[in-house]
Structure 1
Amino acid sequence: MTATGVLARVKAAGGAGRLRWPHHLLIASGLLVLLSFVRVLDGADDVTSSGTVSAALRLAVPIFLAGLGGLWSERSGVINIGLEGMMILGTWTGAWAGYQWGPWAGVVFGVLGGALGGLLHAVATVTFGVDHIVSGVAINILGLGLTQFLAGLIFNTGEAKALGGGPRQSPPVDPIRTLTLPVLSGGEIGGWKSPDWLGSLERHHWFLVSDIAGILRGLTSGMSLLTLVAILLVPLSFLILWRTAFGLRIRSCGEDPYAAESLGVHVYRMKYAAVIISGGFSGLAGAFLVTVAAPLYQDGQTGGRGYIGLAAMIFGNWRPGGLAAGSLLFGYTDAMNVRGGGQSVHALLLFVAILLVAVAGWQGARAGRLRPQVATDLGRREVRGAYAGAVLSLVAAAGLLVWFLASDSVPGELVSFTPHLVTLLVLALASQRLRMPAADGLRYRRGEAR
C-alpha cells in the first residue's frame, strides 16, 4: 500500500456494510419485545426487573473498561492480553489510596497503577520487540504476584491492620456516592420520600410497559457517579479515535505503521500513548471494583474480568459501541446468575431458541442471494457454509425448545456457568464477521523494510 492510501484505508476500515443507528434501534426494540414476551409466558419477572438491570450495569462496567483498554491498545497495533494484570494493579493501588484519602483518590491511583502496567507492556513490546502475548502473560503474572506481596506487607501491619486489613484484603474503602432520579425512581431528598413512578409501573408486570419501566428504573436508581463516567467514555472514545487527528494517527499505526511513518507519524510515540491509556482504563476498571462493586481490595477480586473484557472487545469488532453492547451482554448473563436464578435462565432458553430460528432464516436468505452469483470454489464454499449455519441454528433451536418445554427451571450449576458459556458462544458466532486492525500484533521497527 502506498503512503497516500493509508489514511483512506484507515477511514474506510470497517465502514462498509455497517448498520446505522436506526437499524440498531430497530433491532434493540425487537429484542425487547421478544424478551417481554418470554417473561410473560414463563412468569420470570426478574428477566427485566430494575434490580437485574442495575446489577447487569454494575457487573458490565469493569468488563467494559477493561475491554476499552484493549481497544485503545489494539487499535495502535499492540495486542494486550495483560488487561487482567493491569486490573489487578488498579484494585490494589485504588484500595491503598482509597482507604486513606477517599474513594476518588482511589480512582486516580487505580488509573495510575494500571497505567504503570501499560507502560511496562509498551516498553517490552514497542521498544524491545517482545512477543505481545508473552509480555501480556508476564504482566498478568507480575500483577497477581506483586499485589499479593504488597497486600501482606502493607495491609497486614500497623494502622491498616487495625482498620480491618489483612494479608489478602485491604481496610474498607468508602463507596462513591450514587444518584437516583426523584419522582421517577424514588429515593429521599432531605427527609422527603419521593414518588416512584417507574417502580409502580414495573410492579404491575404488564407486557412491554413494565419491562421498559424496569429497565429505565434500573438505569436511574442507585447509579454510581463512576458508572456515569464509564458510560460517557463510550462516545468520548469514539470521538477521539474516529474524529480527531490523534485518533487517526493511532489507528493508522494499527493498520500500516510503515505507511504511517512515511507520512510523518511518530509510530513509537503513538503506540506508547495508546498502550499507557489502555493500562489506565484497565486500572480504572480495577478501581471500580474497590470503590463501587465492593468496598475493599480482596485477593482474586478481578475474577477473570480482564479476559472477558478482551472477549467483549472482539465481539464488538474493535469499536466502542459494539464493545459496550458485548459488555452489557456478559454483565446481563452474570446478573442472571446473581439475581434471576434457574427460573430466569429457563425463560432465556425460549428467547435464544427464537433468536436461533431468526438466525437460520437470515442464513438461508443470505445463501439464496449468493447462489445465483456463485462462480468460484470460494463462492460455493460460502454458500454451503451459509446453509450449514442455517441447519445448525435450527437444530440448536429445536434442542433448546425441547429443553424449555420439558423442564420448569435450569439447574444451579448451569446457571453459574452461563456467563462463561455465553462468552464462548458469542465469540464462535461473531468470529466470521470480525475485522481486526491489519497490523495488530506485528513487530514494528522504524525504517525497517517490510
Structure 2
Amino acid sequence: MTLEAVFGTDDYRRDPGGRLHDLREAGPVHRVALPGIPPVYLVTRFQEARTAFADPRLRKDRARVPAAGSPGPETIWVSGRQLLSTDGQDHTRLRRLLNGWWSRAASAGWPAIIERHVDGLLDDLAAGPAEVDLVTAFTRPLPMRILAEIVGIPQAETPHLQELVHVITGSGTTGCPRLRAASADLTQIWFRLAKDHAGEDTLLGMLGKARQDREITLVELTSLLNMLLVAGAHSMSMFFPRAVLLLSAPPAADAGSGYCGGAELAAMLAGDDATAHEAVAEELIRLCAPFPLASHRYATDDLDLWGTPVPAGALVMPAVAAANRDPRAYADPDQACPGRRQGEPRHLSFGHGPHYCLGATLARQQARIALVGLYQRFPRLSTAGEATWRNDIIPEPTSLPVRLNRAEFRNAT
C-alpha cells in the first residue's frame, strides 16, 4: 500500500478519521509506505491501538532498540531526550520533573489565563474586517500565547517561537538546512531564557535551575521545551481549524436521534449550558484528534501484531483518527454525539498508558473555552472559502477563511 492510497488527499487533510475508514475495516494493522523513511505499521482499530500504546515491546527510545532504522516522520520534535523519546526510568524521571506544573492544583488557574488570551484575540477579530483567516488571526497565536504564560516564557518571544515551530513541524527532512537552522535557533533561545529565568517560580525557571544544578542535561532542557511547544501549542493550532470545519458542515442525512450536525453543535457552544459545552468539546476532540497519528514506536523484536508480522526495529504508529471512529468501540462513530452513551470508552486522542498526554487537561480546557468564546461572540460564523494545508502525513491547516457576521455577535460579558 502506498502513501497516495491513504494520505495526501484533500479528504484526508480535512477529515483523517473518515479517510482511514476503509483501511481500518480491512484489518487492524497495515504496512504503509512513506517517502523518505522505512515502512510504517499503522494500528487502525480502537482496542488494538489502545493495547499498542501500552505494549512494552514497542518502545519510544530509538537508541535502545538496536535494530531500529531511520527515525519516524516527526523529525526533530521527538528527538533528543524528552517524554516522546524515552521509556522506563528516563521517562519517569523527566515526567516527574514536570508533574507538579501540570497537576490538578496547577490546572485550576489555567481557565483564567485561557479566557484572557481568548478574549484579547476575539476583541481584535471584532474590531477587524468581516472576513478573516482564522488560522493566522486566532487559532495559531492563541495556543502559543497560552502555553508561554503557563510555562513562564515572555510573551515577546512568542512570534519568533511560532515561526520556528512552523519550520520544525514542516515536512522537511532532518538534513534540511532550514530545519537545522531553526533547531539551532531554538536551542540558543532556550539556553538564553533558561539562564535568564533560572530559579523563578515558573516551569521555565524550574528547568533553568535544574540545568544549573546538573539535574538535567542541556539536551534534555531543550528537548523538553521543544516538546512543550509542539505538543502543547502546535497540536491545538491543528485541532481548532478542523473543529471549525466540522462545525460548519451540514448534518448527515442518516444521523439518528441524539446525533448533531455542525450547526447544532455550534448552537450548543453559543448557549449557556456549561455541561453541554464540555460534552461538545470532548466529542470534537474525538472526531478531530490534534494528531491523527500518534508519535512512532519501535518494535524491540520480531513481532506478530494481530496477524501481521512486524520486524524488529520497524516503526509502529497507532492511527488515532481511525481508532476514534471504530464501530467496535462507538455507535455511529462518524457522527457527533455530545455526552456519548455510558459504556463507550474514552477516545485515544491523548493516547493511553505510560505516555498518556501530560497536557490533556490543558488541551480540554483550551478546546472548551476557546470554542465557546468564539461561537458566543460570533454565533453565525461561517467558512468563506477553502482551507489550505501542508504536510501529507500529519496535515496542518495553514489558512481557513471565515466570515464573522460581526453585526450579530454577542458582546463579551
* TM-score w.r.t. length of structure 1: 0.26
Q: Higher strand fraction: Structure 1 or Structure 2?
A: 2
Q: Higher helix fraction: Structure 1 or Structure 2?
A: 1
